[in-house]
Each structure stands twice: as C-alpha cells, then as structure tokens.
C-alpha cells in the first residue's frame, strides 16, 4: 500500500552538505514510521535517523548525532535527511524505509531477523575529495 521514492542524491565535495527527500504515497502512509539508511560499498546497512508515525518521535544513532538531521513534512508524507560535513567514505546508496513500528526501524539494520514493510529504491550520494 505504501510506496517510497527517494531524491536529492548526487555529487558533493568533501565537507559539503546535502538534503535528501523520501516521499511516501498510499492510503495508509501517514500511519507509518519512516527512517533513512545507507549502505556503502563493503559495509553493512546503517541507520541514519528515524521518525515515528505521529511525527513527534525521532531517533538518531550516536554515530551521526550532530551531523544528520531528520525532519518530516506537516502532512507526514515526506521525510528529509540533511547531511552535514560529508566525508568521502560516506559515499553510499542512501535509502528510506517505512514500517508501522518505530522500534522496528531503529533495530532493523542490526537485527537480520527483522525487515521493514516497504523500502525505497535508494539514491546515490557520491562524496569527492
């Protein structure tokens, strides 16, 4: 029922900033928590931030706090990821996911027995030195 489309990726210089967008559609999309992830070459999938279905709850892993900012549109159909101080090693496919339960989004990257109900196709961010 829910479909996700990411946009905003591209080439950015080391130290630069970028804002990605994930837009959801479907009858029940407003009832879903959403999150941003990335997967770099040779690395595991990593959670970057998440927002609860109400738009009031947010979560950031300690590794990205202060550099990544999650925000959500008033209609709750778009989740944004602002990335600051990008490094070349952060070149990766960035993608969003949605699930009815925020906790599932928080743990899915580290718990291989879990999965989200819907994933986007991803958008490539390339950080040049």
**What's the confidence (pLDDT) of residue 14?**
97
Q: Report how far residue 32's alpha carbon sits from residue 90's, in angstroms, rounded to the nearest whole number.
A: 27
The two tokens of residue 55 are 């738009």
Q: Report how far residue 103's alpha carbon sits from residue 69's, in angstroms, rounded to the nearest whole number.
A: 19
Q: Give the three-class secondary structure for 108.
A: coil
The string over 57-78, giving b where at least 16 C-beta atoms fall within 10 Å of a residue's C-beta and e elsewhere, is: eebbeeebeebbbbebeeebeb
Q: Report how far residue 17's alpha carbon sits from residue 127's, in angstroms, rounded to the nearest whole number.
A: 10
Q: Give the three-class secondary structure for 20.
A: strand
**What's the confidence (pLDDT) of residue 94?**
98
**What's the confidence (pLDDT) of residue 28?**
66
Work out the pLDDT band at 64, boundaries 50, 70, 90: confident
Interval 1-60: pLDDT, tens:
789 999 999 999 999 999 999 999 876 666 789 999 999 989 999 999 999 887 778 999
Q: Report how far residue 41's alpha carbon sits from residue 7's, in angstroms, rounded to the nearest whole number.
A: 20
């Amino acid at each position: 029922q829910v479909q996700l489309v990411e946009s905003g990726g591209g080439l950015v210089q080391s130290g630069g900033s970028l804002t990605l967008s994930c837009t959801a559609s479907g009858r029940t999309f407003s009832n879903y928590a959403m999150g941003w992830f990335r997967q770099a070459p040779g690395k595991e999938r990593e959670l970057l931030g998440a927002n609860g279905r109400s738009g009031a709850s947010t979560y950031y892993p300690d590794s990205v706090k202060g550099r990544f900012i999650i925000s959500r549109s008033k209609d709750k159909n778009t989740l944004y990821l602002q990335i600051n101080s990008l490094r070349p090693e952060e070149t990766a496919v960035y993608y969003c996911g949605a699930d009815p339960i925020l906790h599932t989004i928080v743990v899915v990257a580290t718990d291989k027995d879990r999965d989200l109900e819907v994933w986007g196709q991803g958008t490539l961010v390339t950080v040049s030195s």
